[in-house]
Amino acid sequence: MVVLLTLGNVLLPLLYLVVFGLYLWLFLDDHPWPRKVVSQLAAATCLTHVGILAVRGLALDRLPMGSPLEFLSVVAVSMLATYLIIESRMKVKATGVMITGMTFLLQFISSAFTHAIPKASPLLKDPGFAGHAVLVMLSYTALCLSFLFALLYLVQARQLDRRQFGLLFRRLPALDILERMSIGAVKIGVPLMFLALCMGHLWMYDLADRLPQEMASKLTPWDPKIMVSWVIFLGYLVGLAGNRFLGWRGRRMNIMAVVAFVAIISTLGLMHHFVPSFHDFQNTESAWLKTQDRLPCGHTFHVEGECP
């Protein structure tokens, strides 16, 4: 199994490099051949990557997001898959070179430095927590793409203002298309974030039911990170409503999208280091492990030998 996982680590960056090369060829030359095949190859790369992640998960008996390097690999495939959904809706391939360049870099770093079997949080064995973690990652990946498309909108608008009509201007889509791509990414990210929050609450209450009262009292929906996540969700929801019903469009809307995402990342980073939360998971992991000795028979994680 280790050999198979190693082969996957070698294959994936090569596939991402080929996809990036085709998008780069299309961006520089607008040749019909890469335009014809690049999306299909990118989709095949996504499917191959998901298959390798599934094999890795089965081999490790957990969600394959147990280390920063594993996480980078999952972000890479999530970003490429989300981009392909937006590309298929908008029928625009010109921005693919930026996205696939990032995904290649993420996967290359992951493949180059990851260990065959890294140490990981035991929480990744819990289906509820694993589902919550995947949905959170997918939602923020979509919001990251929205940020990138909004940034490209501002770059294109600046080129128009300065009358700089070079290769980048000629290859990037029109402003209204870039804005629609940014909004489209938010339309993917917001429902995923809502599902992530709902699953997180359900998992938290389920875990609390299995813990002693003293430990369960620390699992609260008023946790700072949960509250900030709901604020982020509501903020993007208001943005979508404003775009749909109040005509929030153009340069100001895209500036708001860029500033909002930078503020979100900065806030979450500061909270991770300075605000106490059960999302730090060190104590939560210990608590979760203790629940495994107290589960009824038939549960996925019952202690071997305790059930008749």
Q: How do residues 106-151 score in pLDDT, each as one tens digit? A: 999 999 887 656 566 666 777 888 889 899 999 999 999 999 999 9
CA–CA separation, 127 and 155 (whole Å): 42
**According to the model, what pLDDT value does residue 305 have?**
39
- Model confidence band, residue 61 (pLDDT cutoffs 50, 70, 90): confident
By three-state DSSP, how is residue 277 classified?
Answer: coil
Give me the half-sphere count of Cα atoms (radius 13 Å) on the Cβ side of residue 178. 25
pLDDT for residue 296? 45
Write the pLDDT tens digit of every residue in 95-104. 999 999 999 9
State the Cα angle at 165 between 161 and 166, rounded to 5°. Answer: 135
pLDDT in tens, 165-213: 888 888 889 999 999 999 999 999 999 999 999 998 888 887 777 666 7
Report which of residues 55 and 279 the model is more confident about: 55
Show the DSSP H helices in the chain as ranges. Answer: 2-29, 32-60, 68-90, 96-113, 127-162, 167-171, 175-209, 213-216, 224-245, 251-274, 282-291
Highest mean pLDDT among 154-163, 187-196, 251-260: 187-196
Full-model pTM: 0.84
Q: Is the Cβ–Cβ distance between 239 and 258 less than 8 Å?
A: no
User: Does the structure show a pLDDT above 50 at 304?
Assistant: no
* Residue 120 confidence (pLDDT): 62
Give the pLDDT confidence score for residue 50 in this predicted structure: 95
CA distances to 10, 153, 276 from 83, in Å: 23, 16, 35
Interatomic CA distance for residues 19 and 255, integer angstroms: 30
- Looking at per-residue pLDDT, the higher value among 36 and 276 belongs to 36
d(CA 109, CA 13): 9
| Residue 152: both structure tokens together | 């490209």
Dihedral sign of CA atoms 105, 107, 109, 111 in order? negative
